[in-house]
Structure 1
Amino acid sequence: MDIRTITTKRRIQEGLFNLLKVREFTKCNVNEIVEYAEISKRTFYAYYKGKHDLLNTIETQLLKGLKENLAIDREKLTQIKHIPSAEEINKLADIAFNNTIAYCNRNKTAFSGLLSQNGDIYFYKKVVKLGNQEINNRFPYLFQEEMETENSLTLRFIRNIYVHGIIDILVLWGNSNNSIGIDDVKRLLGLVQTKSPVELMKLYQIEMDRFH
């Protein structure tokens, strides 16, 4: 793929992301996308059949990259030969999500736009599904047994809280305007895996006391 094609596609995608800042995707049309991308409709249709083709292309690429980076990070967990303590799991967040966080950071605009209220609810559901698959894959390394969620309401609840907690942190990070750094995100990912809401609130209060 030549540089001109890459540049044009990037402009079209960025046009969509900028449009999502002010309008819901369901209410967007190609005319608005090309206006924000500053290209012609003819150019748009040279690459995409319509707005849904554009959306599907972006989401497919993002999910593919997310899955690949989660798999790379998961490899670090294969070195664990015992059931880690909560403190160890907390510290593992620094390496267990390292590539994934870097990938999300490189595609921060895309993720924040598509996961926003103006984005695609179905993309959120796809990310949740991928997250559920990932926790199932990681569970044996963290707890030395398979995660049979179908027969356990407790495990299904734990997985739901775990996955949505992590995704929500990434969504909030995407909307933070760079006020939250990567190290902060990793620290929060570690805490959300090991602390209850009550414990997290106590940590928050301690932090507030330090700054006031």
Structure 2
Amino acid sequence: MVDIRIINTKSQLKAALFECLKEKSLREVKIKDIISVSGVSTRTFYQYYSDVDNLIEEIEKEFIEGYRKSIEKDRDVILDVDYSLPIEKQFETVLNSAKNTIAFCFERKEEIQTLLSDNGDIRFYNLIYKTSCDEFLKRATTMKSTSGIKLSSKQRLLFDINVQVFVHCMIDLVSVLLKYDDRLSPYDVRQSIFDFLHKTPLDRINEIIQDN
């Protein structure tokens, strides 16, 4: 069992790093800055971490582990979507297919926003991107509707390109939506993602005009 004091000390150091990132970029943050904000001694810092990079790597590793667990929980739901049905009949199932993932993002929104900011770490974005691409490909290859399908080399190339563009868009979309978490519930965010997947901005504007 991990000593609660160790957990608390590490939490202090991580919280201090995030405070520092509000004022400085990651490359500018020094160990002395983290020590000053956290109130933890230099000796204690080195007891757990060799440098700032070592600390940020642990933070990002823990985040990705949690993110991966969330998307894995949602995987079974998306596999049950019947894409032969009209979009409106797929609605609730598709919304639920991101329930755990969006809940996780809401829970860790400050971490996400800080690490994806200009002061953050590009490696964090790349970790989310790779994990998301891997999950998308797992889902695509295990869906009933794709069973037995074989792609030519060109089809595979175009598919991979589409996946990469899609994942980049999803990361950016969720990042934007999290900025409005005081006005949007997790359900609203999932609904916005669904709308993004099935409607252009022009479609949405036309709907608003018709409603008014």
Report sequence identity in percent: 25
State which drifts further: 109-118 or 140-149. 140-149
Shift of the 27–155 alpha-carbon distance from structure 1 to 2, 3 Å rule, reads: same
2:166 is matched with which residue?
162
Equivalent residue letter for 2:94: A
Is contact 2:98-2:190 (8 Å) kept? yes
TM-score by length of 2: 0.83
More relative contact order, 1 or 2 (CA 8 Å, 6+ apart)? 1
Post-superposition shift, 1:84?
5.1
Partner of 2:79 in structure 1? Answer: 78
Question: Which piece of structure 1 moves more, 64-73 or 4-13?
Answer: 4-13
Q: Give the Cα separation in 1 of the matches to 2:151 and 2:27.
A: 37
- Alpha carbons of structure 1 residues 189 and 149: separation in structure 2 relative to 1, 3 Å: farther
Question: CA 1:33 to 1:148, structure 2 compared with 1: closer, same or farther past 3 Å?
Answer: farther
Q: 1:8-47, aligned counterparts within 5 Å?
A: 8-47=9-48
Residue 68 of structure 2: aligned partner: 67
Give the number of aligned pairs.
208
- Amino acid paired to 1:180: L
Structure 1 distance, partners of 2:114, 2:143, is 32
Deviation by residue 1:106-136 (Cα, 9 ceiling, x = unmatched): 2222121111121111110111111111111
Structure 1 stretch displaced more, 132-141 or 42-51: 132-141
Query: Hey, what does 1:186 align to over in structure 2?
Result: 190
Distance, in Å, in 2 between the alignment partners of 1:206 and 1:48 is 54
Segment drifting more, 125-134 vs 201-210: 201-210
Question: 2:154 — aligned with what?
Answer: 151
Q: TM-score, normalised by structure 1?
A: 0.83
**1:193–1:143 Cα change, 3 Å:** farther
Closer, same or farther in 2 for the Cα pair 1:76/1:34, shift >3 Å?
same
Gaps of 5+ in 1: none
1:91 aligned residue:
92
Gaps of 5+ in 2: none
The aligned runs of 1:97-116 (5 Å cut-off) are 97-116=98-117
Alpha-carbon deviation of 1:70?
0.6
C-alpha distance 33-140 of structure 1, shift in aligned 2 (>3 A):
same
Distance 1:117 1:158 in 2: 27
Q: What RMSD, in angstroms, separates the aligned Cα atoms of the two structures?
A: 2.7
- Alpha-carbon spacing, 1:89–1:120, altered in 2? closer, same or farther (3 Å): farther
User: CA deviation digits over 1:58-92, x for unaligned, max 9?
Assistant: 11111111111111100123334664554455433
Residue-by-residue CA offset, 1:9-43 (whole Å, 9 max, x unaligned): 11111111122122110111111122222322222
Paired residues for 1:109-128 under 5 Å = 109-128=110-129
CA distance in 1, matches of 2:208, 2:152: 36
Does residue 4 (structure 1) correspond to residue 8 (structure 2)? The answer is no
* Counterpart-to-counterpart distance in 2, 1:17 and 1:150: 44
The farther-off stretch of 200-209 and 152-161 is 200-209
- Rate the CA distance shift 1:113–1:133 in 2: closer, same or farther, 3 A: same
Structure with larger Rg: 2
